[in-house]
Structure 1
Amino acid sequence: MSTETTNKELLRGGQFLVKETLSEDVFTPEDFTEEQKMMKDSVKEFVDREIWPNKEEFEKKNYALTEEIMRKAGELGFLGISVPEEYDGLGMGFVSTMLVCDYISGATGSIATAFGAHTGIGTMPITLYGTEEQKKKYVPKLATGEWFGAYCLTEPGAGSDANSGKTKAVISDDGKSYSISGQKMWISNAGFAKVFIVFARIEDDKNITGFIVENEEGNGITFGEEEKKLGIHSSSTRQVFFNETKVPVENMLAGRGDGFKIAMNALNVGRIKLAAACLDAQRRVTDQAVKYANDRVQFNTPIAQFGAIKYKLAEMATSAYVGESASYRAAKNIEDRINKRLEEGNSHAEAELKGVEEYAIECSILKVACSEDIQNCSDEGIQVFGGMGFSADTPMESAWRDARISRIYEGTNEINRMLAVGMLVKKAMKGHVDLLGPATKVGEELTGIPSFEKPDFSVLFAEEKDLLKRLKKVFLMVAGSAVQKFGPKLEEHQQLLLASADILIEIYMAESAILRTEKNVNRYGEDKQKEQIAMSKLYLYHAVDIINQKAKEGIVSFAEGDEQRMMLMGLKRFTKYDNHPNVVALRNTIADKLTSENTYCF
């Protein structure tokens, strides 16, 4: 274990809002180890050989091809990256698991979904919550792709309210087995899964319980037809019906009533992995758009040279770069926290669970940001292709359809927005993140005489970092006042929570890009990071606009009179640029680099 991991102060989840993060303390993709670079190259080579050439086939609902690709991924070890070596996995760290999830997911949403469902919610609950016997029996087969896993939580009446499921588990007279009856829907991998993680309620328990259920013929398990879906056409998605399905008592996962806890923790990991699964999709969409824009000639000019197209290419590349910066920043924080807990004597399962749970806020932020960015990116990709983009003969149409599900599963983006703010408030109440002190100071600043002292803006990113500090004050001002006003009833004010979440999301994403770029400027020089500087500044410019709009919406929803006027004046002060960036020049810098390299090159 590196001294870097053990000696630097690890910020707790959500503390990015109230404590300064130094650029040398963030992890970036440029920090990948040689082993990680080799893993990235081997996954990309696998995708380019096995998946990308078959894109058309995946649109024809070829479920057998998805299963075949998954088996090959298992043979190469890609399904067992995070599984400990004693269960036939590779036992690699959290960053490496993110990296594989990132690069295996970019070519088609069908494989992204099959991979995520199997390695995450299909395998992980057993790895982290299973008994030693359960792990030895199931995990090696799942890690190698001999068996595939699926996760049965959602029901017709239980979606976002996961704990309200009606599926029942009844103990047998001899106490040796449970009989499970109920209906599950939207089950990814259902068509070829051998192992189901099933959630059911025992008697009138407050919380559901998890079970490991083998898909065996004659055991009361039947399936609906494959769902007809907007996208992810070759991802097997079916309803699963359990009719007095017998499950041995030793197949209960964790303890009775622990199912809701398992489900929530599985979703935390699922959320950050879903963010990773959107990254290479963005790179590939941007890459295809750049190549097409260079090749497509109109009015005797490649359309890549037109300002309207430069605008799109620059924005697409920027969102990909920022999403990547934030995702790997959070992944390394989680890995460091896991390693710290292992040093302290936690078991692997406990360390991983608590490590991810610590950064549940960041996981929700990333899920929302990256899923919305891939949707916007693919939408703009269609636009760059023009009429051809609307055709199924080009990759943009399927990319757009596949992207749409990302905003729904692992908790809808609306649920995740409210969770991010809700979890932050809970952390503050537990004393894990001091929001009250900084929020009180912001309140005093609003009524005091403003400081006219400015940092030395000649230093790279000095103004941007100063602006970021002030944007954090905006969140503290809005959320702090809202908590004061509504207390525990804040959760009833959903539109206010949504607006606050957007402020939080933009701060984290913008800061992550700036810190990554600053770190790389310090080691490679400013000349070699011109485009990355431009992307970081461009993203922050948009973030300021979004924060301004969302904060105003929040303030006028609960404040009146002098209080409202004071907060709106504070908002104006906190979001003010001293030197507005020339966003057209920034976009041109980014787009010119893309078109000269004829690829996504960051």
Structure 2
Amino acid sequence: MTTTHGKIIGGSFMIGDLDPARVATPEHFSEEQRMIGSVTRDFIEGEVVPHDEHIEKLDYDLTLKLMRKAGELGLLGADVPEQFGGLGLDKVSSTIISETLAKGSSFALSIGAHVGIGTLPIVFFGTPEQKQTYLPKLATGELIAAYCLTEPTSGSDALGAKTTARLSEDGKHYILNGSKLYITNAGFADIFIVYAKVNGTDFSAFIVEKGLPGFTLGPEEKKMGIKGSSTRPLFFEDVHVPAENLLGEIGKGHLIAFNILNIGRFKLAAGCVGAGKEAIGLAAKYAGTRQQFNTPIAKFPLIGKKLAEMNMMTYVMESMVYRTAGLFDEALQDLDYSAPDSGAKAAKAIAEYALECSINKVFASEALSFVVDEGVQIHGGYGYIQEYKIERIYRDARINRIFEGTNEINRLLIPGTLLKKALKGELPLLQKAQALQSELLSLMPGQVFDGVLAEEAHLIAMAKNIFLMVGGIAVQKYQLDLEKEQEVLAGLADIMIQVFAAESALLRTRKLLAEAGESKAANAIDMTQVFVRQAFDIVESRAKEALAAMESGDTLRTQLSVLKKLTRQNPVDTVAVKRRIAARVIKGEKYIV
């Protein structure tokens, strides 16, 4: 695995291997981390879930009351440094909180927007004075934050924002004009992180307090899901924001926006893990009690297959998310948040794993969509009725593929970011691709695999080679015009996503296997065996599609014959394996590792 000063370089998973012992996994949570999860779970189940129906009716007062209770427990200050009133927890711990909060549905989104994209801009980029002024109150919930980037004419194209800011003649204020759209927490937030272009050109960020003259809110949006969260537009008409509330530097707002979005994407994935686990529990319990033809439907193999696949996808999500949390912990462990250059260092550390954040976001949001869809299907007609929570989880999950940059935009970012790192000399990606070309023309003998998951490890290695092969052809063919070939880029992104997902599951399972033995790791081994093959089939499909888009005739036939060498695998009876996984989930009536 490629490293710098002992730290793993973002994207290096595509060209190297990692020691399983180095990966953060849920099986290695410390006692303190488990306690944090327990406190969060008790709060959600004891304080939030009983009021779920009222929260869904958009009761601002109740949401604020509960958010402040969360603040008293420290759940709002996990990512706030201790010197500014927070707990300063490691990223694995704050990820546990994000995952566990997911059972709170819309309330989890209100907290997530506050602690993540609302508070972190000040944590990472605020001046010492700004941190001292706002962070202690944000950590307790005395102040609630919102993040304001999207506009009526700019969503994924954030830098196309039309909101402007100009410095007043006396230099004491920036005068904001414009509007923002789809702002979470807008109805009850106290401070707003607002992006605007100084003099219409320099994209910058500001801390804007509510109540300023000229700052108004539009009505609540009527949404498909997440109905208990506040989502309103904002309007700025000659709003005078104190000059000292400029966040970061003029013209450097993109550093804040994009790095905070990276964190937002990652935290979104953590929430998907929690929602997936809840959906599995609901579906497994229902399948055990619902009878058809005088038999619990859990005993029908096709229902068991669904539960097995739901459990497997959630295991993979969870493995990816905590692996990435561990990367953040390594990158940020030496950061002094009180230092003047902490913002620049934080931005660099976060940006290092930008593509991993996008991978987490895309995979988790789509995996959760699959999980909850199957959950509704298991419930049958009852799954379409609002009385059953699976219906709400289904509706709420849909926004995840749009939030924090659409999955289409993220798919373009994933290979694009990797290529930029290669062109900067941070990763020997192009050299690896060139070296592979000569190897692929030689005869590749068949292999004999010895040991648990040995063939799965081989398939992941071959998937990486497939990426290098197809990506190398794409770079040679299109060069700087590659960014215009969105279908090819999306195919390369899907290969990278499946590689990271499959490798994350493999590393976690191997770590569990080494420490607990084959018996205790049996379910994890089964899930990894099935998922790696499922992922490998997707890799092969995307590679064929991309090659056919780039070449034709004899050249294409030659490339497909090379691809065939890389995609050899021994068949596995996945039906039998999934039945074993299903039996464990049905017995436990919950998510099972």
Give the structure 1 partner of residue 506 of structure 2: 514
Q: Secondary structure at the match of 2:8?
A: coil
- Cα RMSD after superposing both structures: 1.7
Q: Contact between 1:446 and 1:567, CA under 8 Å: does it hold in 2?
A: no
| Match in the other structure for 1:290 | 284
SS at match of 2:76: helix
Alignment TM-score, normalising by the size of structure 1: 0.95
2-structure distance, mates of 1:468, 1:127: 38
The corresponding residue for 1:208 is 203
1:167 corresponds to which of 160, 163, 170: 163
Instruction: Determine if the alignment matches structure 1 residue 269 to structure 2 residue 260.
Output: no
What is the distance in 1 between the residues matched to 2:104 and 2:143?
23
Q: Structure 1, residues 481-519: CA drift from partner, whole Å, max 9, x if none? A: 101111111110111111110110001001100110110
8 Å CA contact 1:106, 1:282 repeated in 2: no
- Residue 213 of structure 1 aligns to a residue whose secondary structure is strand
Quote the residue 1:28 is aligned against: 25
1:563-587 per-position Cα deviation (integer Å, ceiling 9, x unaligned): 311221122221221x212111111
2:564 counterpart of 1:564: no
- Counterpart AA for 2:29: F
The match for 1:418 is 412
Aligned to 1:253: 247
Structure 2 partner of 1:585: 576
Instruction: For residue 451 of structure 1, give the secondary structure of its aligned residue in structure 2.
Output: coil
- Residues 338/231 of structure 1: CA separation in 2 closer, same or farther (3 Å cut): same
- Are the counterparts in 2 of residues 335 and 355 from structure 1 also a CA contact under 8 Å? no
| Amino acid aligned to 1:157 | T
Deviation at 1:19, TM superposition (A): 1.0
Provide the C-alpha distance between the structure 2 equivalents of 1:301 and 1:473, rounded to a whole number of angstroms. 48
Q: What is the one-letter code of the residue matched to 2:476?
A: Q
Q: CA deviation at 1:277?
A: 1.1
* 58-67 or 160-169, which deviates more: 58-67
Kindly state the Cα deviation for residue 127 of structure 1 after the two structures are TM-superposed: 1.2
Q: How does 1:166-245 map to 2 (within 5 A)?
A: 166-205=162-201, 207-216=202-211, 219-245=213-239
Q: Displacement, 1:451?
A: 3.3
Kindly indicate whether the alpha-carbon contact (under 8 Å) linking 1:339 and 1:351 is maintained by their aligned counterparts in 2.
Answer: no
User: Secondary structure at the residue paired with 1:480?
Assistant: helix
> How far off its partner does 1:120 sit?
1.1
Paired residue secondary structure (2:116): helix
Change (3 A) 1:379 1:354: same
Aligned to 2:430: 436
* In 2: Cα distance, 1:591 partner to 1:561 partner: 45
Distance 1:586 1:342 in 2: 48
Q: Which residue of 2 aligns with 1:136?
A: 132
Amino acid at match of 1:54: H
How is 1:26-425 mapped onto 2 (pairs within 5 angstroms)?
26-108=23-105, 110-205=106-201, 207-216=202-211, 219-339=213-333, 348-425=342-419
Range that drifts further, 309-318 or 42-51 = 42-51
CA drift of 1:25 comes to 1.6
For residues 219-274 of structure 1, the C-alpha deviation after alignment (integer angstroms, 9 at most, x for no partner) is: 11111110000000011000011111111111111111111221011111111111
Rate the CA distance shift 1:56–1:341 in 2: closer, same or farther, 3 A: closer
Contact kept in structure 2, 1:290 and 1:599, CA below 8 Å: yes
- Contact 1:499-1:554 within 8 A present in 2 as well: yes
2:493 to 501, 504, 525: 501
* 8 Å contact kept, 2:383–2:390: yes
Segment of structure 1 superposing worse, 552-561 or 347-356: 347-356
- TM-aligned CA deviation for residue 348 of structure 1: 4.8
Paired with 2:577 and 2:336, the residues of 1 have a C-alpha distance of: 44
| Distance (Å, rounded) in 2 between the aligned partners of 1:349 and 1:101 | 23
User: In the TM superposition, what is the alpha-carbon distance from 1:39 to its structure 2 partner?
Assistant: 0.3
Separation in 1, partners of 2:51, 2:393: 14
Distance 1:413 1:60 in 2: 29
For residue 60 of structure 1, report the CA deviation from its aligned partner. 2.6
Equivalent residues of 2:255, 2:347 under 8 A apart: no
DSSP 3-state at the match of 1:556 = helix
Q: Which residue of 2 aligns with 1:537?
A: 529
- Tell me how far apart the structure 1 counterparts of residues 195 and 333 of structure 2 sit (CA, whole Å): 30
For 1:155-200, what per-residue CA distance to the aligned partner results, in whole angstroms no more than 9, with x for missing partners?
0011110011111112112111111111100000000000011111
Aligned counterparts of 1:267 and 1:431: Cα–Cα separation in 2: 25
Question: Are the equivalent residues in 2 in contact too, given 1:342–1:351 (CA < 8 A)?
Answer: no
Instruction: Give 1:524's aligned residue.
Output: 516
1:34-60: CA deviations, max 9, x gaps?
Answer: 110100111111111122333333333
Question: What CA deviation, in whole Å up to 9, does each residue of 1:407-464 have, x standing for no partner?
Answer: 0011000000110110000001011111112211221122222233x25x23011111
| Shift in CA distance, 525/256, structure 1 to aligned 2, threshold 3 Å | same
What SS is found at the alignment partner of 2:182?
strand
Percentage of matched positions with identical amino acids:
45
Contact persistence 1:291–1:598 (CA under 8 A): yes
How far apart, CA to CA, are the structure 1 residues paired with 2:368 and 2:533? 20
2:71–2:77 Cα contact (<8 Å) kept: yes
Q: Match of 1:22, as an amino acid?
A: D
- Partners in 2 of 1:346 and 1:529 — Cα distance? 47
Report if aligned partners of 1:106, 1:279 keep a CA contact under 8 Å in 2. no
Query: TM-score scaled by structure 2?
Result: 0.97
Deviation at 1:67, TM superposition (A): 2.3
State the distance in 2 between where 1:597 and 1:414 align.
37
Distance in 2 between the 1:523 and 1:380 partners?
Answer: 33
Alignment length (residue pairs): 590
Residue 198 of structure 1: SS of its match in structure 2?
A: strand
1:515-555 deviation digits (Å, cap 9, x = unpaired): 10110011111011111111111111211121111111100
Q: 1:3 maps to what in 2?
A: none
User: Is the contact between residue 169 and residue 203 of structure 1 (CA under 8 Å) also seen in structure 2?
Assistant: yes
Deviations 1:380-415 (A, max 9, x none): 100000000000000111001100110001100000
* Aligned-partner residue type, residue 313 of structure 1: L
Q: State the alpha-carbon separation in 2 of the partners of residues 115 and 541 from structure 1.
A: 37
Maintained 8 Å contact 1:59/1:398:
no
Q: Which runs of 5 or more structure 2 residues have no equivalent in the other structure?
A: none
TM-aligned CA distance change 1:531 to 1:596, over 3 Å: same
Which amino acid is the alignment partner of residue 546 of structure 2? G
SS where residue 106 of structure 1 aligns? helix
The answer as to whether partners of 1:226 and 1:236 remain within 8 angstroms in 2 is yes
Kindly indicate whether residue 464 of structure 2 is the aligned counterpart of residue 472 of structure 1: yes
Cα distance, 1:130 vs structure 2: 0.9
Instruction: Indicate the SS of the match to 1:105.
Output: helix
